[in-house]
Amino acid sequence: MTMDSQQTSDVRPRLSLGPLLYYWPRERVLDFYAEMLETPVEVIYLGETICSKRRQLRPEDYWDLAEQVSAAGKQAVISTLALIESEGELKTLQRLCADRRFLVEANDLGALDFLEGHAFVTGHSINLYNHRTLEFLAKRGLRRWVLPVELGRETARELITRRPEGVECELFAFGRLPLAYSARCFTAYNRGLGKDDCQFCCMDDPDGLTILTQEGDAFLTLNGIQTQSASTHSLLPVLDEVSALGVDVLRISPQSQHTADVIGVFNACLRGELDTAEGTARLAAWAPSGLCDGYWSGAAGYATGPVAVGMPR
């Protein structure tokens, strides 16, 4: 049985805070989440999704944070690595999935072997491109999926219309787009270091390292083994459209500055207290390399202006 998207078109999406994609000192991370508990997000994702060498927080720390999130009346979700490369990482994955207190976001299909029969979320790094995959995963316990960022409105509309009953759709709504993962650490390579001797240099760039073209334009952002867009993706200008589609959750990706302000703008627009044009103008002030709508519109390239229409820089 599928859900009729028209039945949910009048329901405004909830807000979520995605997992922290960058490498920050332990105390800064703890302070950040203490601040996030006071924001109107209803779902908070916790866990290391990029690199297992980032060990400022252990699984026990994330579980403790998840307890605090739950106590604050929000849903806590434990996120897993997007790229599993070693036996040690596989064992950590199994351990995270074995803890049944919190919902797990699977960012690598290997997690499904440890989640059989239990509810889970799939992250944007899972290649969920069609309704057949959606139905297959729903039978294995899928409760919410994050649309891969390379997909646009037409695919979103089709998947939402044909999704199995009880399965929610979440969109990556704000943040630098995660574009690719690699076995090589490009942040370390940029410093002339090897991956095994990276000296944890990604901690020097709390929002990733912006790469410029020869003309001096922001092009990409390096974040360890992850490559991101330089411009910041925002779906705020199409808030009414995504709401009408029946999207259940909008994800705000953490950044080192103004995350609470970004959440506040989205929340005010969802509540009808702020116009999306004014909200977008505010967001632009917190996006150093400008705003874009990513792949949502399906347009090629990018344009100039407050919100570039088309793929990110």
The pLDDT tens digits of the residues spanning 24-69 come to 999 999 999 999 999 999 999 999 999 999 989 999 999 999 999 9
The string of pLDDT tens digits covering residues 208-230 is 999 999 999 999 999 999 999 99
Residue 308: name the closest of 211, 218, 205, 210 by CA.
218
Q: Is residue 313 part of a domain?
A: no
Distance CA 108, CA 120 (A): 12
State the pLDDT at residue 199. 82
Q: Is residue 115 part of a domain?
A: yes
At 5, the pLDDT band (50, 70, 90 cuts) reads very low
Q: Whole-prediction pTM value?
A: 0.93
Q: Is residue 288 part of a domain?
A: yes
CA 51, 18, 149: angle at the middle one, nearest 5? 85
The CATH number of the domain holding residue 109 is 3.20.20.70
Task: Return mean pLDDT, the chain.
Answer: 92
Q: Is residue 186 part of a domain?
A: yes
| Residues spanned by the domain of 23 | 5-308
Residue 13: name the closest of 278, 307, 267, 226 by CA.
267
State the pLDDT at residue 309. 52
Q: Is residue 152 part of a domain?
A: yes
Name the phi and psi angles at 153, rounded to 5: -65, -35
Q: Is residue 278 part of a domain?
A: yes
Q: Is residue 285 part of a domain?
A: yes
State the pLDDT at residue 3. 45
For residue 82, the one-letter residue type is: A
- Total number of domains in the chain: 1
Distance CA 73, CA 61 (A): 19
